[in-house]
């Protein structure tokens, strides 16, 4: 006890905090951040360490949901033609004061405009510094979407769009749209060291950066000026621990209080441990098997449907996901708005499948099944999944071969329009909008790219295009529900699974909410 | 002695050039493309791909890229990491002391235990003690590092609570790096608590990393002791009536050390290789962990630069070992 007191005292002195019993939460993070400027990167590990802790965005996802709610902007309105989105900013948002920066003014419209300019204006010094490599901003086509950003007054910013786009506001809740301080970055530019913005970040978020020891630990302290009030914990430490087994040991030993990404096989033991709570939630993801709908015989919906009926998905959930998932019947996860629960999945019925194949004139079918070489949040073991499929298909007279490539190569080759075989792949949502699944993965624009089934079906695509332009979520949801009916009828994929996310934490931790979008945030978390 | 040194040094040049070729080719022969890996499921448009490729210089011919790498190397510039955009040299140098510190502690552990164990086994040749020591060291030599590390963590950290699970120092301490050695920096900072914490965190990883070298050193010491013990001059020493202790420690051990020093020198390469696994288990922020990350992201400049630097270090150590022979045994100089 004496030792702990002493240690806490030392910690308090080091962190510059006054209370002797400073509350410190240690999070065993899974890897090192690539940097601290979230606009430059696409990895969740980097976002956890930067945007989720240090920064805020104009709008945010309500913790634990994919619903968009106000953050730096207290409200926003969309013009009737859908081309103008105006944000009204709070006037009490301050940037963090640290030993490397003291802000002279609160956040205003200039900071918001600067944040986007640096990612799209070729003349912005930060754009030049990064060679324009703002991959997430680009991947979400933000540059094409934003015509201009206008300052109406100090606390009002208007985005003018090139076309009406309903998911746009949700995009602004994404990590790359974290608001930077123009004053700080100007100051760095004046000092001739703009690259420091990526090493000594300044934001408006709940925690402020203290220091980072590469590959070892990141320290934060609660931001005393946070606009939602100071956090209940005083210090936050990310102890970088890349091995899941070691994270588990650290959690048991009390060296950290929260850990992400447990080994699926350890979850049961964790649930039985009296010191550990295991939170779980359905992830915002889907795993699928995409046929190439441009290649015979997979160009016939009845053939695709027959194959879907030959595959026992529940067996895959049991054996590969070890129960940590549910069978998917739609291409979007059930927690997402617009999910059509009335859809009936094609039942597992090998006899009927065999008959359907015969009726379609398909005999002695040989096909490839692509199994990805890596574990992903939506798919713990693609190889094993492919083997189960192979054995299911052999029962209906289909001879399936399993193929695989190195991950980068897999992603590239599976996009080819003339690709041979069906591909196992999946997706984790970016912004909680159905368009982010249905439009990106199944729209005509995605053929030869993210649309692995190379499926361009006009009735479906028209619905998706139309939904994108509407502002009312209710009306959009109706269109997406119809789109899911068409999807099921046409069956470009076999929808396999939605995985479950587990988050083990020690019993003394309260207030932690699993982020369905896959991030890890400690806002509002306390230790008892 | 100086001439001996120069010859040895000159011999290193072709080796070093070979290393640069291997390092350059190795990461490019691995399937995988840094740009595609970065893009992930989201994918990347062909024009954006081409843009990034040209920014990174991968659209040039391999020969041009290699010569560019070599040119940079001669200026001490290994390029910038594709991921963090920081100079590879800085990234390496900020992590290398952690690996070196761990390796030195592991080596010290291996020598302090392995050498006396080997001497003891040789003296008690054929006795139970000899069989025990050799049996244990064979077990140690065959131990899979990852499994061994986890086993020790489960026993000493999770169950008994004697040692921390992983990390380099308690998160309560933040010591400004001066030398990069946590034990030294904490002393420079005058923080006794941090020093003890750093030592505490070194115990398990040093044991795990030192296990295989310990076994090798013990076995080598034993066999070369036995060889020397059979020499005429040892018999002469005994005939002169010298004490057993003196015969063993002075006449036998010193001569037996030559091959032991060679083996210790060879362990340095093994230590750096073993550090990759040990650092992963113990979340040790050294170059091993850094290299693994770089390889999995196909960060070409970091991997090729890291490999060249590691090879360079191993070569220098071997050079020093060669020089050490000269000191231990003057006959080798010629």
DSSP A322-369: TTSEEE--SSS-TTSTT--TTPPPPP--HHHHHHHHHHTT--S-EEEE
3-state secondary structure string across B146-158:
HHHHHHHHHHHHH
Say if B235 falls within a structural domain: yes
Mean pLDDT check: name the lowest of A81-90, A127-136, A481-490, B145-154.
Answer: A127-136
Say if B71 falls within a structural domain: no
pLDDT tens, A272-306?
A: 999 999 999 888 999 999 999 999 899 999 999 99
pLDDT tens, A461-476?
A: 999 999 999 988 899 9
Rounded CA gap, A484 and A277, in Å? 36
A261-295 burial, b at 16+ Cβ within 10 Å, e below that, comes to bbebebbeebeebeebbbeeebbbbbbbbbbbbeb
The helix (H) or strand (E) run that includes residue A306 is helix A301-310
Residue A235 · residue A220 · CB < 8 Å: yes
pLDDT tens, A234-272?
A: 999 999 998 899 999 999 999 999 999 998 888 989 999
Mean pLDDT check: name the lowest of A80-89, A144-153, A406-415.
Answer: A406-415
3-state secondary structure string across A474-513:
HHHHHHHHHHHHHHHHHCCEEEEEEEEEEEEEECCEECCC
For CA atoms A141, B39, A238, A502, give the dihedral sign: positive
Best of B29, B33, B34, B41 to disrupt the A interface by mutation (most A CBs within 10 Å)?
B41
Q: Spell out the alpha helix ranges (H) of A172-264.
A: 182-190, 244-253
SS3 A153: strand
pLDDT, greater one: B312 or A207 = A207
Task: Name every chain B residue with its beta carbon within 8 A of the beta carbon of A253.
Answer: 157-158, 161, 164-165
> Residue B169 is part of a domain; what is its CATH number?
1.10.3720.10
Q: Which of A259, A264, A263, A265 is nearest to A247 (CA)?
A: A259
**CA nearest A30 in B: which residue?**
B283
Rounded CA gap, B33 and A133, in Å? 17
Q: Do B158 and A42 touch (CB under 8 A)?
A: no
**Closest partner residue to A249 among B37, B85, B158, by Cβ?**
B158
Q: Which of A448, A46, A406 is nearest to B36 (CA)?
A: A406
pLDDT of residue A15: 46
pLDDT of residue A124: 95
Rg, Å, chain A Cα set: 25
Rounded CA gap, A472 and A4, in Å? 55
pLDDT, greater one: B205 or A446 = B205
**Closest partner residue to B285 among A14, A215, A252, by Cβ?**
A215
Task: Name every chain A residue with its beta carbon within 8 A of the beta carbon of B31.
Answer: 405-406, 408-409
Say if B22 falls within a structural domain: no
Say if B21 falls within a structural domain: no
A265 touches B at CB < 8 Å: no
C-alpha torsion angle, residues A48, A49, A55, A58 (rounded to 10) = -20
Q: Which of A517, A523, A525, A512 is nearest to A501 (CA)?
A: A517
**Closest partner residue to A249 among B40, B45, B165, by Cβ?**
B165
Say if B47 falls within a structural domain: no
The pLDDT mean for chain A works out to 92
Q: Which residues 361-390 of A have a C-beta within 8 angstroms of B?
A: 376
Q: Do A409 and B94 touch (CB under 8 A)?
A: no
A450 touches B at CB < 8 Å: yes
Q: Is it true that the peptide bond before A297 is cis, omega within 30 degrees of 0? A: yes
Length of chain B: 334
Rounded CA gap, A318 and A1, in Å? 46
pLDDT band at A3 (very low <50, low <70, confident <90, very high): very low
pLDDT of residue A427: 94
Min Cα–Cα distance to chain A from B169, Å: 9
Mean pLDDT check: name the lowest of A8-22, A26-40, A202-216, A362-376.
Answer: A8-22
Q: Which two tokens stand for residue A430?
A: 């970016």
Task: Count other C-beta atoms under 10 Å from residue B13's C-beta.
Answer: 9
Q: Using a pLDDT cut of 70, give the percent of chain A over it.
A: 96
Residue B172 · residue A7 · CB < 8 Å: yes
A97 touches B at CB < 8 Å: no
Number of domains in chain B: 1
SS3 A75: strand
A496-515 burial, b at 16+ Cβ within 10 Å, e below that, comes to bbbbbbbbbbbeebeebbbb
Residue A388 · residue A312 · CB < 8 Å: yes
C-alpha torsion angle, residues B321, B322, B324, B330 (rounded to 10) = 160
Rounded CA gap, A5 and A365, in Å? 71
Rounded CA gap, A516 and A268, in Å? 21
* Domain of residue B137, residue span: 88-333
**CA nearest B174 in A: which residue?**
A14
Rounded CA gap, B102 and B268, in Å? 12
Q: Do A253 and B84 touch (CB under 8 A)?
A: no
Rounded CA gap, A148 and A125, in Å? 18
Q: Which two tokens stand for residue A7?
A: 């240690």
Q: Which residues 456-485 of A have a C-beta within 8 angstroms of B?
A: none
A21 touches B at CB < 8 Å: no
Rounded CA gap, A293 and A494, in Å? 12
Min Cα–Cα distance to chain B from A411, Å: 7
Task: Count other C-beta atoms under 10 Å from residue A465's C-beta.
Answer: 15
Residue A428 burial by CB count (10 A; 0-12/13-18/19+): exposed, middle or buried? buried
Q: Do B171 and A24 touch (CB under 8 A)?
A: yes
pLDDT of residue B167: 92
Rounded CA gap, B327 and B329, in Å? 6
A266 touches B at CB < 8 Å: no
Rounded CA gap, A313 and A315, in Å? 5
Residue indicated by tokens 């004490």? B243
Residue B258 burial by CB count (10 A; 0-12/13-18/19+): exposed, middle or buried? middle
Say if B73 falls within a structural domain: no
Min Cα–Cα distance to chain B from A293, Å: 20
Best of A7, A129, A214, A404 to disrupt the B interface by mutation (most B CBs within 10 Å)?
A214
Q: Which two tokens stand for residue A128?
A: 């030049």
pLDDT tens, A324-344?
A: 899 999 999 998 999 999 999
Give the residues of chain B that fall short of pLDDT 70.
1, 329-334
Rounded CA gap, A92 and A108, in Å? 10
Q: Which of A57, A100, A114 is nearest to A196 (CA)?
A: A100
**CA nearest A238 in B: which residue?**
B171
């Amino acid at each position: 006890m004496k030792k702990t007191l002493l240690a806490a005292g030392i910690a308090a002195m080091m962190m510059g905090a006054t209370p002797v019993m400073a509350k410190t939460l240690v999070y065993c993070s899974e890897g090192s951040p690539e940097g601290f400027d979230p606009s430059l990167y696409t990895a969740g590990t980097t976002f956890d360490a930067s945007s989720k802790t240090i920064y805020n965005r104009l709008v945010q996802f309500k913790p634990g949901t994919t619903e968009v709610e106000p953050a730096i902007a207290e409200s926003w309105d969309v013009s009737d033609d859908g081309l103008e989105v105006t944000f009204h900013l709070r006037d009490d948002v301050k940037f963090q004061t640290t030993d490397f920066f003291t802000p002279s003014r609160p956040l205003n419209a200039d900071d918001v405009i600067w944040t986007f300019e640096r990612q799209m204006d070729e003349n912005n010094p930060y754009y030049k510094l990064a060679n324009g490599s703002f991959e997430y901003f680009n991947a979400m086509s933000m540059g094409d979407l934003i015509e201009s950003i206008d300052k109406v007054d100090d606390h009002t910013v208007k985005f003018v769009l090139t076309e009406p786009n309903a998911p746009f506001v949700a995009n602004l809740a994404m990590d790359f749209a974290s608001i930077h301080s123009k004053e700080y970055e100007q100051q760095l530019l004046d000092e001739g060291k703009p690259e420091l913005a990526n090493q000594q970040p300044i934001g408006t978020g709940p925690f402020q950066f203290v220091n980072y020891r590469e590959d070892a630990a990141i320290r934060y302290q609660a931001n005393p000026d946070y606009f939602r009030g100071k956090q209940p914990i005083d210090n936050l430490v990310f102890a970088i621990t890349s091995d899941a087994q070691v994270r588990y040991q650290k959690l048991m030993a009390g060296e950290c209080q929260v850990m992400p990404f447990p080994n699926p096989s350890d979850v049961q033991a964790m649930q039985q441990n009296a010191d550990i709570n295991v939170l779980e939630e359905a992830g915002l993801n889907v795993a699928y098997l995409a046929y190439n709908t441009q290649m015979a015989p997979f160009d016939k919906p009845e053939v695709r449907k027959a194959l879907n009926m030959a595959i026992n998905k529940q067996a895959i959930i049991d054996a590969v996901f070890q129960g940590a998932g549910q069978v998917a019947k739609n291409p979007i996860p059930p927690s997402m708005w617009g999910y059509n629960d009335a859809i009936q999945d094609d039942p597992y019925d090998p006899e009927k499948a065999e008959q359907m194949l015969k009726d379609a004139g398909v005999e002695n079918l040989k096909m490839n099944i692509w199994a990805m070489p890596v574990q992903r949040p939506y798919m713990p073991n693609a190889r094993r999944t492919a083997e189960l499929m192979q054995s299911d298909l052999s029962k209906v007279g289909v001879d399936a071969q399993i193929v695989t490539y190195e991950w980068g190569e897999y992603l590239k080759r599976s996009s080819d329009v003339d690709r041979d075989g069906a591909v196992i792949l999946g997706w984790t949502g970016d912004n909680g909008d159905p368009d982010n699944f249905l439009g990106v993965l199944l729209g005509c624009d995605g053929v030869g790219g993210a649309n692995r089934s190379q499926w361009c079906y006009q009735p479906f695509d028209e619905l998706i295009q139309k939904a994108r332009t509407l502002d009312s979520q209710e009306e959009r949801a109706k269109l997406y529900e119809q789109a899911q009916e068409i999807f099921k009828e046409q069956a470009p994929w076999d929808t396999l699974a939605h995985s479950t996310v587990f988050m083990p934490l020690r019993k003394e931790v309260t207030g932690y909410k699993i982020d369905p979008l896959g991030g890890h945030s400690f806002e509002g978390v306390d230790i008892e | 002695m100086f001439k001996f040194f120069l010859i040895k040094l000159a011999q290193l040049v072709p080796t070093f050039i070979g290393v640069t070729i291997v390092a350059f080719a190795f990461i490019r022969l691995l399937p995988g493309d840094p740009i595609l890996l970065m893009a992930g499921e989201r994918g990347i448009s062909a024009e954006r791909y081409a843009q990034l490729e040209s920014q990174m210089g991968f659209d040039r011919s391999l020969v041009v890229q290699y010569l560019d790498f070599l040119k940079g190397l001669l200026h001490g510039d290994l390029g910038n990491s594709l991921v963090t955009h920081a100079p590879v040299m800085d990234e390496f140098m900020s992590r290398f002391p952690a690996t070196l510190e761990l390796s030195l502690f592991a080596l010290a552990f291996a020598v302090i235990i392995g050498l006396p164990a080997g001497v003891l086994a040789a003296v008690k040749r054929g006795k139970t003690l000899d069989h025990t020591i050799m049996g244990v060291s064979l077990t140690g030599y065959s131990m899979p590092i990852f499994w061994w590390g986890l086993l020790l963590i489960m026993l000493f950290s999770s169950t008994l609570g004697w040692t921390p699970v992983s990390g380099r120092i308690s998160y309560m301490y933040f010591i400004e790096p001066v030398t990069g050695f946590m034990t030294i920096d904490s002393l420079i900072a005058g923080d006794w608590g941090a020093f003890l914490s750093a030592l505490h965190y070194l115990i398990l990883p040093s044991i795990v990393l030192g296990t295989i070298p310990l076994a090798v050193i013990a076995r080598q010491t034993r066999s070369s002791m036995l060889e020397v013990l059979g020499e005429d001059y040892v018999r002469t020493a005994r005939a002169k009536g010298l004490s057993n202790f003196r015969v063993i420690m002075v006449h036998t051990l010193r001569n037996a050390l030559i091959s032991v020093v060679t083996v210790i020198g060879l362990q340095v390469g093994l230590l750096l290789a073993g550090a990759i696994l040990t650092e992963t288990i113990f979340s040790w922020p050294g170059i091993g962990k850094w290299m693994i990350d770089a390889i999995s992201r196909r960060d070409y400049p970091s991997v090729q630069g890291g490999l060249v630097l590691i090879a360079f270090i191993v070569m220098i150590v071997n050079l020093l070992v060669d020089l050490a022979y000269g000191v231990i045994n003057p006959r080798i100089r010629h």
